[in-house]
């Protein structure tokens, strides 16, 4: 391969990635401008709340529970190496609330919600339902995108809060049931150690991730190619993009909020 | 009046429309015929602005459709999509009443439902289907629900993309009569795409044949059979051999 060919080989995917990022940014900005201008569709919003929030609870709860438990075991085992096993409650709390709670919930939402939004909207696209909406003087952005994104933005922080609590409970169950911690002091340590700012940053991450997951699902659905293949590709790409952007956003938010 | 001049539309290398010139007078019924894949559906979508044409002008009552305000423009139209395009998250009657329950002159729910049921009856569907979901209906029934939705708000211009495809001959007759009736009684301007020559004769005031991206022939329905145009003759008689290749 010539040097120029190699450069082109690197440049092309980079340019393509930048172009997608640009499209996502534009779409996100459009969503926000539509968010504040009527008409609003309360019924679609309620359906989206159900889909994004309520129906995600089992997945979020189970993920957090097992992770909290595993975290407690790891911190205990790792802490023993320098006689610091007593910090299990504090590290579980901070690990769940600051990082694992938001990230895991964000990724589960990408898997569950981004995929279903992308597949649903892509199917509407390929079956001309989006065209039909437009001819019936209904803006797909307002009717389909805004309710879903708003639901994601509002629900995912709540899901993160619930995930944080359940994760800590998972750590508590393992810590007190298996590792011999005292129940009262485990709770005491957790509560004393966590600061309000930890919880707020957790919720902020949740809101950002919820926004990303739903915007990406809608955008990739709307951009879907034709036929069943188009729907499949839209769904797959939406989930991968949402997951990567959530992890990248998490890194940025962590650096901004906790960086020295 | 709808007027198209030199309308071009390509999808990548696929040059679908290559200079379409066509006028449809107000209150008349134009039928578009042509082989499948020749761009008939794309043509309707260009007029509605669902697909942006690359070149040429499309005007409605003298106004360029790409410059008009979208909401009032679209409110004048009803469209039956080729595949029905029903919203599968909504019940049949909610599909039909979709426009009635939104926008400026929105109707209360029970009134919109009454109108929806009345429109369903006009396309030969019983009130029992009103509360079903589109996925519970056969293809032909979905098509008719789509038709009911297109006429529900009594628009002045209606596009029918293959209204009788997938229907039995009796139901096709009912739909042909309905379209004719809408044009004659309500003064609607209609554009219908069909492959069904019975439909053409029942519905059309004039006919246009789209072939290879241009209007190959257009004229009043009375002139259709007499035209010497070999493309039209091959199409209306359904011959395998002629200027239109059977393999496309
Ligand atoms: N959104 C689209 N993207 C790419 N190609 C399209 C699109 N819509 C239609 N086409 C192509 O345009 C041509 C005409 O399609 P269409 O208007 O649906 O044909 P028909 O005359 O059967 O209605 C076909 O080759 C089709 O593949
Ligand atoms: Mg078609």
B159 found inside a domain: no
Query: Largest alpha-carbon pair distance within chain A?
Result: 69
A12 found inside a domain: no
| CATH number for the domain that contains residue B58 | 3.40.50.300
Phi/psi for B242 (5° steps) reads 155, -170
Q: Does A138 touch chain B (CB under 8 A)?
A: yes
Scanning every residue of chain B, which has its alpha carbon at the shortest distance from the alpha carbon of A132?
A: B85
A1 found inside a domain: no
Q: Does A90 touch chain B (CB under 8 A)?
A: no
Q: What is the pLDDT of residues B42-73, one digit of tens each?
A: 999 999 999 999 999 999 999 999 999 999 99
Q: How many domains does chain A have?
A: 1
Residue B238: other Cβ atoms inside 10 A: 9
Q: Which residue, among B69, B56, B76, has the nearest Cα to B1 in the 3D structure?
A: B76
A3 found inside a domain: no
Print the SS3 string covering A23-43.
Answer: HHHHHHHHHHHHHCCCCCCHH
Residues of B whose CB is below 8 A from A135: 48, 50, 74, 77-79
Structure tokens at B90: 């909504």
Query: Largest alpha-carbon pair distance within chain B?
Result: 56
- Whole-model pTM: value is 0.92
Q: Does A38 touch chain B (CB under 8 A)?
A: no
CB-side neighbour CA atoms (13 Å) of B178: 23
Q: Do residues A242 and A110 touch, judged by C-beta distance below 8 A?
A: yes
Residues of B whose CB is below 8 A from A133: 87
Instruction: Please judge whether B85 and A128 are an interchain contact, meaning their C-beta atoms are less than 8 angstroms apart.
Output: yes
DSSP letters, A208-248, are HHHHHHHHHHHHHHHT--SHHHHHHHHHHHHHHHHHHHHHH
Confidence of residue B102 (pLDDT cuts 50, 70, 90): confident
Beta bridge partners of B29: B190
Dihedral-angle region of residue A86 (phi above 0 means left; psi in -120 to 50 means alpha; beta otherwise): alpha
Cα-Cα-Cα-Cα torsion B45, B50, B52, B53, nearest 10 degrees, comes to 10
Structure tokens at A256: 């901004």
Query: Is the pLDDT assigned to residue A1 strictly greater than 70?
Result: no
- The proportion of chain A whose per-residue pLDDT surpasses 70, expressed as a percent, equals 99
Query: Is the pLDDT assigned to residue A260 strictly greater than 80?
Result: no
Q: What is the pLDDT of residues A126-161, one digit of tens each?
A: 999 999 999 999 999 999 999 999 999 999 999 999
Print the SS3 string covering B51-113.
Answer: CCCCEEEEEECCEECCCCCHHHHHHCEEEECCCCCCCCCCCHHHHHCCCCCCCCCCCCHHHHH
Q: Which of A131, A137, A138 sits opposite B45 (nearest CB)?
A: A131
Phi/psi for B8 (5° steps) reads -115, 145
Q: Does B50 touch chain A (CB under 8 A)?
A: yes
A39 found inside a domain: no
B175 found inside a domain: no
B15 found inside a domain: yes
Q: Look up the domain containing B236 and give its range.
A: 1-71+189-248
Q: Span B181-194, mean pLDDT?
A: 92
A13 found inside a domain: no
B100 found inside a domain: no
A252 found inside a domain: yes
Smallest CA separation from ligand 1 atom 7, residue: B11
Measured in angstroms, the CA of A13 and the nearest CA of chain B are apart by 21
Q: Do residues B213 and B58 touch, judged by C-beta distance below 8 A?
A: no
Cα–Cα distance, A25 to B170 (Å, whole number): 53
Q: What is the pLDDT of residues B12-24, one digit of tens each?
A: 999 999 999 999 9
Q: Look up the domain containing A104 and give its range.
A: 51-258
Q: How many domains does chain B have?
A: 1
B180 found inside a domain: no
- A92: enclosing H helix or E strand: helix A88-94
B99 found inside a domain: no
B13 found inside a domain: yes
Measured in angstroms, the CA of B106 and the nearest CA of chain A are apart by 13
B154 found inside a domain: no
A4 found inside a domain: no
């Amino acid at each position: 391969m010539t040097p120029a060919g190699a450069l082109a080989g690197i440049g092309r995917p980079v340019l393509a990635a930048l172009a997608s990022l640009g499209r996502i940014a534009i779409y996100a900005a459009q969503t926000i401008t539509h968010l504040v201008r009527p008409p609003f569709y309360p019924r679609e919003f309620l359906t989206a709340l159900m889909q994004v929030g309520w129906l995600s609870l089992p997945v979020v709860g189970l993920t957090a529970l097992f992770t909290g438990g595993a975290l407690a075991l790891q911190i205990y085992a790792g802490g023993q190496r320098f006689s610091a096993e007593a910090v299990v409650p504090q590290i579980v709390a901070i690990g769940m609330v600051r990082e694992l709670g938001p990230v895991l919930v964000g990724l589960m939402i990408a898997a569950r919600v981004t995929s279903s939004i992308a597949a649903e909207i892509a199917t509407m696209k390929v079956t001309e339902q989006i065209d039909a909406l437009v001819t019936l003087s209904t803006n797909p952005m307002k009717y389909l995108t805004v309710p879903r994104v708003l639901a994601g933005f509002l629900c995912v922080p709540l899901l993160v809060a619930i995930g944080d609590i359940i994760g800590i409970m998972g750590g508590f169950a393992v810590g007190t049931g298996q590792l011999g911690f005292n129940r009262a002091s485990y709770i005491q340590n957790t509560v004393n150690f966590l600061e309000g700012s930890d919880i707020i940053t957790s919720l902020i991450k949740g809101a950002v991730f919820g926004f990303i997951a739903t915007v990406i699902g809608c955008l990739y659905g709307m951009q879907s190619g034709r036929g069943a293949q188009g729907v499949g590709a839209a769904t797959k790409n939406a989930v991968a993009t949402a997951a990567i952007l959530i992890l990248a956003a998490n890194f940025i938010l962590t650096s901004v909020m906790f960086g020295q | 009046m709808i007027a198209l001049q030199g309308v071009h539309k390509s999808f990548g290398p696929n040059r679908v429309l290559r200079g379409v010139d066509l006028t449809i007078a107000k209150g008349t019924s134009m039928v578009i015929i042509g082989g499948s894949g020749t761009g008939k559906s794309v043509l309707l979508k260009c007029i509605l602005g669902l697909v942006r044409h690359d070149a040429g002008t499309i005007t409605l009552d003298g106004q360029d459709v790409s410059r008009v305000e979208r909401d009032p423009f679209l409110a004048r139209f009803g469209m039956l999509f080729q595949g029905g395009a029903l919203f599968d998250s909504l019940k049949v009657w909610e599909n039909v009443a979709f426009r009635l329950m939104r926008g400026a002159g929105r109707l209360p729910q029970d009134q919109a439902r009454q109108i929806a049921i009345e429109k369903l009856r006009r396309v030969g569907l019983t009130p029992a289907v009103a509360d079903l979901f589109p996925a519970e209906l056969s293809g032909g029934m979905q098509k008719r629900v789509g038709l009911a939705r297109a006429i529900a708000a009594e628009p002045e211009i209606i596009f029918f993309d293959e209204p009788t495809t997938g229907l039995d001959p009796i139901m096709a007759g009912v739909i042909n009569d309905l379209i004719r009736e809408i044009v004659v009684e309500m003064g609607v301007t209609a554009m219908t795409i069909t492959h069904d020559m019975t439909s053409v004769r029942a519905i059309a005031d004039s006919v246009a044949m789209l072939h290879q991206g241009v209007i190959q022939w257009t004229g009043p329905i009375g002139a259709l059979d007499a035209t010497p145009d070999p493309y039209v003759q091959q199409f209306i008689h359904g011959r395998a051999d002629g200027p239109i290749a059977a393999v496309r």
